[in-house]
Amino acid sequence: MAKFILAIDQGTTGSTVALMDAKGKLRSSVNYEFPQLYPKPGWVEHRPTDIWASVEKGIRAIFRKKICKPGDIAAIGITNQRETALLWDRCDGQPLNNAIVWQCRRTTDFCESLKSAGHEKLVKRKSGLVLDPYFSASKFRWLLNNTPGMAKLLKSGRVAAGTIDSYLIWQLSGGDTHATDVSNASRTSLMNINTGKWDKQLLELFEVPEQILPAIGPSSGILGHTRGVKGLPDGIPIAGVAGDQQSALFGQTCFAAGDAKCTFGTGSFILMNTGSEPVQSKSGLLTTIAWQLGDKGKTVYALEGGAFVCGAAVQWLRDGLKIIKRAPDIEALAATVADHDGVEFVPALTGLGAPHWAPEARGVLAGLTRGTERGHIARATLDAMALQNADILGAMEKDLGKRMKPLRVDGGAAANNLLMQIQADVLGRKLIRPQLVETTVAGACYLAGLGVGMWQSPAELREIWQVEREFKVEMTAAARRKRLNLWHKALGRALL
- Separation of alpha carbons 25 and 43, rounded Å: 39
| Range in 1-5, 373-377, 450-454 the model is least confident about | 1-5
β partners of residue 215: 179
Q: Which of 289, 295, 174 is nearest to 243 (CA)?
A: 289
Question: Phi first, then psi: what are they for 346, rounded to 5°?
Answer: -105, 105
Assign 3-class secondary structure to 16-33.
EEEEEECCCCEEEEEEEE
Assign 3-class secondary structure to the chain.
CCCEEEEEEECCCEEEEEEEECCCCEEEEEEEECCCECCCCCCCEECHHHHHHHHHHHHHHHHHCCCCCHHHEEEEEEEECCCCEEEEECCCCCECCCEECCCCCCCHHHHHHHHHCCCHHHHHHHHCCCCCCCCHHHHHHHHHHHCCCHHHHHHCCCEEEEEHHHHHHHHHCCCCCCEEEHHHHCCCCCEECCCCEECHHHHHHHCCCHHHCCEEECCEEEEEECCCCCCCCCCCEEEEEEEHHHHHHHHCCCCCCCCEEEEECCCEEEEEEEECCCCCCCCCCEEEEEEEECCCCCEEEEEEEEECCCHHHHHHHHHHHCCCCCCCHHHHHHCCCCCCCCCEEECCECEECCCCCECCCCCEEECCCCCCCHHHHHHHHHHHHHHHHHHHHHHHHHHHCCCCCCEEEECHHHHCHHHHHHHHHHHCCCEEEECCCCHHHHHHHHHHHHHCCCCCCHHHHHHHCCEEEEECCCCCHHHHHHHHHHHHHHHHHHCC
Q: What is the pTM of this model?
A: 0.89
Give the residue with greater pLDDT, 309 vs 455. 455
Question: Phi first, then psi: what are they for 473, rounded to 5°?
Answer: -70, 130
Q: Are 178 and 169 in contact (CB under 8 A)?
A: yes
| 127 CB-side CA count, 13 A | 29
Give the pLDDT band (50/70/90) at residue 161.
very high
pLDDT of residue 292 exceeding 80: yes
Q: Which of 43, 47, 50, 45 is nearest to 15 (CA)?
A: 50
Average pLDDT, the chain: 92
pLDDT of residue 389 exceeding 80: yes
Provide CB contacts within 8 A for 25, sequence distance 6+: none
The 73-80 sheet, strands edge to edge: 26-33, 14-21, 4-10, 73-80, 237-243, 220-225
- Separation of alpha carbons 213 and 227, rounded Å: 21
pLDDT of residue 491 exceeding 80: yes
Provide CB contacts within 8 A for 458, sequence distance 6+: 253, 255, 293, 446, 450
**355 prior amide bond cis, ω within 30:** yes
Q: What is the largest CA-CA distance in the chain?
A: 67
Amino acid in position 374: R
pLDDT given for residue 400 in this prediction:
80
- Separation of alpha carbons 284 and 357, rounded Å: 7
- Separation of alpha carbons 291 and 82, rounded Å: 14
Give the pLDDT band (50/70/90) at residue 1.
low
- Separation of alpha carbons 359 and 107, rounded Å: 11
Residue pLDDT, tens place only, 263-287: 988 788 899 998 888 888 888 889 9
- Separation of alpha carbons 284 and 303, rounded Å: 10
Residue pLDDT, tens place only, 38-87: 999 889 999 999 999 999 999 999 999 989 999 999 999 999 999 999 99
Amino acid in position 252: Q
Residue pLDDT, tens place only, 307-359: 878 888 888 899 989 999 998 999 999 999 999 989 999 998 878 877 887 87
- Separation of alpha carbons 300 and 321, rounded Å: 43
Give the class (CATH, top level) of 4-252.
alpha beta
pLDDT of residue 386 exceeding 60: yes
Residue ranges per domain, the chain?
4-252
Quickly count: other Cβ atoms within 10 Å of residue 315's Cβ: 16
Residue pLDDT, tens place only, 217-274: 999 999 999 999 998 999 999 999 999 999 999 999 999 888 899 998 878 889 999 8
- Separation of alpha carbons 118 and 334, rounded Å: 46
